[in-house]
Structure formats: C-alpha cells, structure tokens
Amino acid sequence: MRRLLLVLGNDVRRHLKSPLAILIYMVIPLAMTGLIGVIFAPRTEGRELPPIPVLLVDNDKGLASKLLVSSFDVDQMKKMFQVTVTDEADGRKRMGRGQASAMVVIPKGFTVDLLEARPVTLLVVKNPAEQFLPDVVEEFMNTMAVMLSGVVQAFADEVRGIRAMLDLKVDSFPWETLGPEFGKAQKKVVAASKYLNPLLLRLKTEETKAPGARRSFTQADLFSAILPGMAIMFLLFIVQTLMRDIISEREDGKLRRMMTTPLRPLELIGARIFGGWVMGVAVLLVMMAAGTLVFRVTWGPFGDFLLLGAVASFWTAAFFALLHALVRNRNQAGALSAPIILAFSLFGGSMMNPEVMPKAFKMVGVLTPNRWFIDGAAAVRQGRFPFVSLIVLLVSGLVLLALAVPALRRRTSV
C-alpha cells in the first residue's frame, strides 16, 4: 500500500508540473457552459425571442394603411418588433440580403378596398434563412387581419360614408348629413366598448412545469443543467490523458525499469487506476467550485453529488484502464479515445438535451456514462438520491475493473 501511494504521489506531482493540457480541458466545459447559457438564458423581460426585425412597406399611404402601420408603434409591439418603414424596392433589396426576418407589404388601394369591403391581401415576405421569427410576424399579421375585418364590418355604414367623402369634391359634399352619421357611429362605439373596454375575453397565460419541478427557470438553472454534461465529457478527456501513462511507460521502457524495483505489477496497476480516480474526483471538485463561483450553479446536496462524481470518476478510470490494456500503442490509444469520448458525449446528452434527441439516439445514450451522470446530477439537483445512476455506474465500473486488471497484469509483466 505504501508503495502504491508513493507511485500515486509521484504521478500527481508529475502532472501538476505541466498542468496546461489539463487546465485547457477544465476551461472548455466552463467556456461552453457560458456560451450556451448566454444564448439560451431566459430573457429578463419575459420574452423568449430577441426583437424581430421587420420591414414595413406602405404602398397605399391611405387612412387604413396608416392605422395599420401605427399599430406597430405601440410600446408592447416596439418591444417585440424592430420596425423599419421603407419603400418596396429597398425592402426587396434588404430582404434579398437577409437583413430582416420579414417584410410586410400593404398593397396599393388597401384603404379603398377596405372601405368598399372588398377582399384585400396583405403580403408577408419571409426570410428563408430563418426558421422561427418570420412565422411570428406572419401569425401577428393574421391576428391583425381578423381585427381589421371585424372593424370594417362593424362600421360598414360609416365606412361607406367615408368612401363617398373621398370621391366627392369638398364643396359638393353634404356636410350637414355628417351629424347624424357621427351620432350612429358614436352609438356603435359605445356599444362596442361593452365588449372591448375591458375586453370581454382575455387570455391569462401561465407557464407550468411538471409536478414537483421548480416554478421559475433562471439563468443559473440553465447553467446548472448544462455544466454536469460538459463536466463528465471533459472528465473523460482528462482521465484518459492521465491514464495514458500506462502505455507511454510501456513504450519508452520506464515500465521495465520500474519492474526491477520491489514494486509488484498489481501495485503499479492499482496506483494508475487509483490515480485516475482520485485526480478525476479532484478535477470534478475544481469544476464544481468554478461552476458555483462563476455561474452560481446549484448542485443539490454536496455529499450526494460528490458520491455521484466519485462513482463516475471510478467508472472513467476503470474504462480507460481496460481500453489501455487492449490497445497496442499510444497512437492507437489516442486515436480511439477521442472518438469514443465524443460518441459517448453526443449520444449521452453532453452536447444536447437528451429530451429533444431522436428516439434512436436516446436509446444508444443509455449505454453511456454521460447519460447516467447527467440523470444522476439532475436527480441530486432536485433533491433526490441518484440511486439508479449510482448502481448502474458502480456495477458497470466494477465489471470494467474486473476485466481491466487481469488484462493489464498480462501487459505489465516483463
């Protein structure tokens, strides 16, 4: 045991002397978590999307089109849309360059057609490179269309009066007839106000979570959900780097020399696996501390998470011990390790929320340590003990260890 600890201590000192590669691997998950967290953070204003750039082309320049254009000038709309009023030629040019999410074109004769209650079509030109925002503009215009259709029908008589006014000369218009018309319109406005002020029907939108889940989702929650996935991915990278000593020592002859000392092969193997495990836990603790300080990540009960981290780290050390026992040289180990880690991470949910993955990807994900670690971390965060994750990682880790030790013994004997 003393010899095992001596080897372990020596290994730790050696790795701490040139820690740059390990430091880079520790920076990556934090940088990635920061980037994804900033992009997908819940907006403070309660909106899920950034302001939508919209081009507005008024080819009509009549009363109705001006009313429509001014509807974008309301405070709530200003927050949702970033409107630029322009002419059609410039609008088409800008849309051709993808400088807006959508362009709304009000056709010529819009006001007259509305006044005569003739069907009229508003055109929404959508940016083909965007997937979400143009549809929001289209649906907003659909709602406006319903409201405009309603107004035109509600004030059909008055609208006809306005239409006649537009056709006649000022001196030939019978102004005295306007009085009773205004009176009728006033009655309609008063009648309409019964339904519109306050609105007879409103929608009270509420975002809910699955039973037992927290009510609000903050940026820190997002970081808390992302970082464990990133942490396990780079834990795999770091531990495989540390465990590569198993092969490099065999290749450069150090192993042969070490075996001339009273050190037994089993002690050396134990030191390597134990070293990978201990340093894996240390790396996880550093990432945990950095995540807490930089992103205010919540991990749940510290003891539970530490236990999960220790078991995941043990699994990682056992896995790479077996892999390094099976490969012939360092190049082969390097060539195999990175693809395996990336495949684990892709299927296991380190690179993407497993819930949105296709079914086949999810099924493969169950075979990866990433998936169990991420699920376990989520359970700890929600205050549950990660029993299933711990059992799966521990049992499979022990199986890997049982396979790795005899294989490594064969490769260690000189």
Partner 1 sequence: MKRIKRILHVAGNDLRIMVGDKIFFFWTLAFPILFIVLFGLLYKAGDNAPAVAELTVVNLDQGRWGAYFVEKIKAPNLELTMAASEPAEFSRLLVLPADFSAKIEARRDQALAFKKRSGASTKAAARVETRLYQTIARVLCELVLYGEGDLTKFLDGHPEFRDIVRVESRFPEKTVTVVPSGFDHSIPGTTIQFIMMMVIIYGGISVLEDRKKGVLGRMLFSPLSAGDVYQAKLLGRWSMGLLQALMLFVVGRIFFRLNLGSVPLALLVIAVFALAMAALSVFIGSVCTKEDMIIGLAVLLANMFAGLGGCWWPNEIVPPAVRKAAMISPAYWAMDALHKLRFFQGGFPDILPHLGVLLTLAIVLAIVAGRSFRIKD
* Element (DSSP H or E) covering residue 396: helix 387-412
State in angstroms the smallest separation of the CB of 277 from partner 1. 19
* Residue selected from 44, 76, 121, 413 as contacting partner 1 according to rule CB under 8 A: 121
State in angstroms the smallest separation of the CB of 70 from partner 1. 16
Shortest CA distance to 320 belongs to which of 382, 272, 386?
272
- Count of residues engaged in binding partner 1, rule: CB under 8 A: 99
Phi/psi at 403 (5° precision): -80, -35
Q: Is residue 395 part of the contact set for partner 1 (CB under 8 A)?
A: no
Q: Is residue 122 part of the contact set for partner 1 (CB under 8 A)?
A: yes
State in angstroms the smallest separation of the CB of 87 from partner 1. 15
Q: What's the rounded Cα separation, in Å, for the pair 308 and 312?
A: 6
Residues 347-376 that bind partner 1 (CB under 8 A): 352, 355-358, 361
Q: Is residue 329 part of the contact set for partner 1 (CB under 8 A)?
A: no
Q: Which residues of 70-106 are buried (b: 16+ CB within 10 A; e: fewer)?
A: eebeeeeeeebbebbebebeebbebbeeeebbbbbbb
Shortest CA distance to 41 belongs to which of 296, 231, 232?
296
Residues 263-322 that bind partner 1 (CB under 8 A): none
Q: What's the rounded Cα separation, in Å, for the pair 85 and 103?
A: 10
* Residue selected from 140, 295, 314, 344 as contacting partner 1 according to rule CB under 8 A: 140
* Residue selected from 4, 7, 83, 148 as contacting partner 1 according to rule CB under 8 A: 148
* Residue selected from 1, 2, 76, 128 as contacting partner 1 according to rule CB under 8 A: 128
Q: What's the rounded Cα separation, in Å, for the pair 277 and 285?
A: 12
Joined together, the tokens standing for residue 205 give 């939108």
Phi/psi at 108 (5° precision): -65, 140
Strands (E), 243-304: none
Q: How many CA atoms lie within 13 A of 88 on its CB side?
A: 11
Residues 19-78 that bind partner 1 (CB under 8 A): 20-21, 24-25, 27-28, 31-32, 35-36, 38-39, 48-51
Beta bridge partners of 56: 85, 104
Nearer to partner 1, 241 or 370 (CB): 241
Nearer to partner 1, 158 or 263 (CB): 158
State in angstroms the smallest separation of the CB of 3 from partner 1. 28
Nearer to partner 1, 134 or 265 (CB): 134
Q: Is residue 145 part of the contact set for partner 1 (CB under 8 A)?
A: yes
Nearer to partner 1, 171 or 355 (CB): 355
Segment near partner 1 (CB under 8 A), from 120-128, 164-172, 367-375, 404-412? Answer: 120-128
Q: What is the DSSP string of 168-198?
A: S-GGGS-GGGHHHHHHHHHHHHHHHHHHHTT
Residues 216-245 that bind partner 1 (CB under 8 A): 217, 237, 241
Q: Is residue 253 part of the contact set for partner 1 (CB under 8 A)?
A: no
Nearer to partner 1, 56 or 95 (CB): 95
Q: Is residue 194 part of the contact set for partner 1 (CB under 8 A)?
A: yes
State in angstroms the smallest separation of the CB of 371 from partner 1. 15
Residues 150-179 that bind partner 1 (CB under 8 A): 150-154
Shortest CA distance to 313 belongs to which of 343, 268, 283, 333?
283
State in angstroms the smallest separation of the CB of 251 from partner 1. 14
* Residue selected from 199, 253, 260, 262 as contacting partner 1 according to rule CB under 8 A: 199
Strand order across the beta sheet in which 81-86 lies: 81-86, 52-58, 102-106
Joined together, the tokens standing for residue 73 give 């000038």
Amino acid identity, position 284: L
| CA pseudo-torsion sign 280, 286, 290, 293 | positive
Residues 87-116 that bind partner 1 (CB under 8 A): 92, 95-98, 101, 103, 114
Nearer to partner 1, 158 or 401 (CB): 158
State in angstroms the smallest separation of the CB of 165 from partner 1. 20
Q: Is residue 339 part of the contact set for partner 1 (CB under 8 A)?
A: yes
DSSP 355: G
* Residue selected from 12, 108, 130, 403 as contacting partner 1 according to rule CB under 8 A: 130
Helix (H, G, I), strand (E, B) or coil at 57: strand
